[in-house]
Amino acid sequence: MICAILMSKQLLTGGRLHRGVLWTFLILLLLSVYGRWLVDATPEPLRPAWWVFGPFILLTDLLNPVFFDRFWFFMFCICGVAICALFWVLGRGGWKIRAVSAAILASIIAAPFAVLFMYGPYSLRTVRVHREYELSWLTEPKGNFASAFKSAQREHDVFGCKYLLHGWGPDSRLYFGSKCRKDLWVFDPQVDKTPRRIQSFPFESGSLTEVTRSRNFRPMGDGGLAVSRVVEDSISPDGEFRAFVIQDSLYGPYDVLVMQPTAHK
């Protein structure tokens, strides 16, 4: 729907206001994708010049819609590509408009590759575990782009996909899900290396262990884990395993960890 509105021929061939809306969208799209990197690359004495964008400078740090989710990232890029292509075919203004739209088009097409260059692999920077324990990182991003995209979310203080624990079942397996896709996952720390997606609980959900919700920091201590923030945690029925939903930065993405004694590996 967003693309249909933005790519309307009336907008492209209509008055200045219509065309101005489309050019503004393209500029803000580029600012959202590349702005933070460009600001960081700008010599410090020249950085105040970025305030020419006014409140839109927040797109380079906070309130960045492009990095809310990978789906929206590609949707915005597809809209940008389509608008540039139609400007080339239908737009007015001669070769200058076509040259500018072609340059923007190239920048948008390069955006997924630029994310890899600008942000790099995602890692848990603040997580520390006592030497008697080790962690299984259940939500570690798969693939280079997914990892770099999650790094971008952390840099822009974007929550991304919010995970939630359902608890441990009587089978000593962890069950957890996410709010973004309404999915359900199971993880057996004694057998599995990665979680598996399932359709439903194999038993009554009332038999799951309790999930404790917290908004506090988790210092290294009796729990054995140090991290910026623990959102939820749950202990397995036998007390050997402990699951956490954490945030590696206070306003960044969510992750699911399972802590277990080293002897179990």
Specify whether the CB–CB gap between 115 and 152 falls below 8 A. Answer: yes
Identity of residue 57: I
Specify whether the CB–CB gap between 148 and 154 falls below 8 A. Answer: no
The answer on pLDDT for 227 being more than 70 is: yes
- What integer best gives the mean pLDDT of the chain? 86
Q: 255 Cβ partners below 8 Å, 6+ apart?
A: 124, 137, 138, 139, 140, 163, 245, 246, 247, 248
- pLDDT of 255: 96
Longest CA–CA span in the chain (Å) reads: 73
Task: Kindly state the average pLDDT of the residues 245-264.
Answer: 88
pLDDT in tens, 81-137: 999 888 877 766 677 778 888 899 999 999 999 999 999 999 999 898 888 888 999
Q: Which two structure tokens, joined as six digits, stand for 125?
A: 């920077």
Task: Kindly state the average pLDDT of the residues 175-198.
Answer: 88
82 vs 76: CA distance, rounded Å: 10
pLDDT in tens, 29-59: 999 999 999 999 999 999 999 998 888 888 8
Specify whether the CB–CB gap between 260 and 244 falls below 8 A. Answer: no
Half-sphere exposure of 94 (CA within 13 A, CB side): 1
- Lowest-pLDDT range of 7-21, 53-67, 98-112, 139-153: 7-21
| Closest-CA residue to 34 (of 99, 103, 98, 119) | 119
What whole-number percentage of the chain has pLDDT above 90?
48
250 vs 215: CA distance, rounded Å: 10
- pLDDT of 4: 54
Task: Kindly state the average pLDDT of the residues 171-176.
Answer: 91
**Which H/E stretch holds residue 258?**
strand 254-261
| Closest-CA residue to 265 (of 126, 129, 125) | 129
Task: Kindly state the average pLDDT of the residues 219-226.
Answer: 66
Return the bridge partners of 247, or none.
Answer: 229, 254
Identity of residue 250: L
Rg (CA), the chain: 23
The answer on pLDDT for 192 being more than 90 is: no
| Closest-CA residue to 57 (of 169, 146, 134, 156) | 156
- pLDDT of 222: 53
161 vs 128: CA distance, rounded Å: 23
Q: 136 Cβ partners below 8 Å, 6+ apart?
A: 187, 189, 193, 257, 258, 260
| Closest-CA residue to 165 (of 230, 249, 217) | 230
| Closest-CA residue to 208 (of 186, 226, 230, 227) | 186
Task: Kindly state the average pLDDT of the residues 59-79.
Answer: 91
30 vs 6: CA distance, rounded Å: 16
Phi-psi category of residue 78: left, alpha or beta, with phi > 0 → left and psi -120 to 50 → alpha: alpha
What 3-state class would DSSP assign to 197? strand
